[in-house]
């Protein structure tokens, strides 16, 4: 489920992870679109060496 943080100013922050199911009513403040901030994007830890790309391409042709 969502992680909820209650702040001293009365606001709540809901952090919903990818893959979580959300059910319920859609609430909007007077029809306004409320934007949220996304989590940090991390670089892929697996990288393909550029000089290996030609070899991968030739191997894929053999399949």
Q: Which residues contact 51 (CB under 8 A, 6 or more apart)?
A: none
Question: CA–CA separation, 34 vs 55, rounded Å?
Answer: 48
Range 38-61 average pLDDT: 79
Give the model confidence (pLDDT) of 14-42 as tens digits: 888 888 887 877 766 776 776 777 777 77
pTM check: above 0.75 = no
- Candidates 12, 32, 11; CA nearest to 2 is 12
For the chain, percent of residues with pLDDT exceeding 90 = 0
Question: CA–CA separation, 8 vs 36, rounded Å?
Answer: 20
């Amino acid at each position: 489920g969502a992680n909820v943080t209650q702040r001293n100013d009365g606001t709540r922050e809901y952090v919903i992870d990818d893959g979580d199911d959300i059910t319920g009513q859609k609430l909007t403040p007077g029809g306004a679109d409320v934007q949220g901030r996304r989590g940090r994007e991390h670089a892929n830890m697996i990288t393909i060496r550029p000089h290996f790309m030609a070899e991968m391409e030739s191997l894929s042709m053999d399949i």
